[in-house]
Amino acid sequence: MTRRRKIYEGKAKILYEGPEPGTLIQYFKDDATAFNAQKKGTISGKGVINNRVSEHVFSRLAHIGIPTHFIRRLNMREQLIRQVEIVPIEVIVRNVAAGTLSKRLGIEEGTPLPHTLLEYCYKDDSLGDPLVAEEHIACFGWASQEEMQDISSMAIRINDFMCGMFAAIGIRLIDFKLEFGRLYDGDFSRIILADEISPDGCRLWDIETGEKLDKDRFRRDLGGEAEAYQEVARRLGLMPEEGEGAVLDMVTHRLRKGK
């Protein structure tokens, strides 16, 4: 068996060299981290679910004209993606106050925002991904003005689409994180959506009960994180394909047994 070359290992994913130049394989782990990796654990079956959920969301975004790095899902934990140069900015899209916004500004969690708020964090683990202004991004050349225009308009369109998609399955989209990359064609590059969209990087609350269906269950020691991820996948109608049923059944069985 040939060993694939590992390009990068992050907290929740591994990137391997792809089968053709310009492609990578994105592998989804069950590892979970929070608070800049100060808290570590695993969420059983998370990688399988995030691979599926991200495939679903990215495919639907492509249908509305959002360019993404996603090419196709390869198996339970892997997807083929286009290789990009990641823009070192995390884009946080907020509809309702929660998390660090609530803490920073003293706004009660659950307060609807008068309009969608975009925040930017500089991607640097050693600095704890600090919040930055667009002026910092321009000043230090992390992205050009034109790139930021593409990024912000895509983020708003993605949010509009995702709010509707989740509302249709009884989920309120509170906030989420996006990452973008530069896809090169010779000397030219264009911005496309990269990374993943899954319950790891979104706050998702049940519309009726307000129950949290995302990584806050892990961050805040609420328990039932694996079941919450499963519930999101179930509501999105992501049923296993033939041949994979056994593995997803096993994941479900383990979850029921609390393993």
Task: List residues binding ligand C5P (CB under 6 A).
Answer: 90, 92, 98-101, 129, 175-177, 201-203, 215
Which residue's CB is nearer to ligand C5P, number 52 or number 212?
212
Q: Which residues lie closer than 8 Å to 179 by C-beta, 6 or more apart?
A: 86, 87, 89, 90, 91, 123, 193, 194, 195
181 and 210 Cβ atoms separated by less than 8 Å: no
Q: For ligand C5P, give the closer residue by CB, 100 or 149.
A: 100
Looking only at Cα atoms, what is the longest distance across the chain? Answer: 56
Residue number, 98 or 248, with CB nearest to ligand C5P = 98
Between 129 and 206, CB nearer to ligand C5P: 129
Q: Is 30 in contact with 92 (CB distance < 8 Å)? A: no
Helical (H) or strand (E) element with 26: strand 23-28
Q: Are 252 and 229 in contact (CB under 8 A)?
A: no
Angle between helices 46-63 and 225-235 (to 10 degrees): 30
Residue 172 vs 215, nearer CB to ligand C5P: 215
Exposed/middle/buried for residue 68 (C-beta within 10 Å: 0-12, 13-18, 19+) = buried
Nearer to ligand C5P by C-beta: 18 or 198? 198
174 and 94 Cβ atoms separated by less than 8 Å = yes
Cβ partners under 8 Å of residue 232, min gap 6: 49, 53, 171, 199, 204, 213, 214
Tokens of 75: 């198996």
Strands (DSSP E) found in 195-243: 202-206
- Of 232 and 248, the one with the shorter C-beta distance to ligand C5P is 232
Q: Which residue is nearest to ligand C5P (CB)?
A: 99
Cβ at position 5, least distance to ligand C5P in Å: 26
Q: How far is CA 252 from CA 28, 74, 257, in A?
A: 18, 21, 9
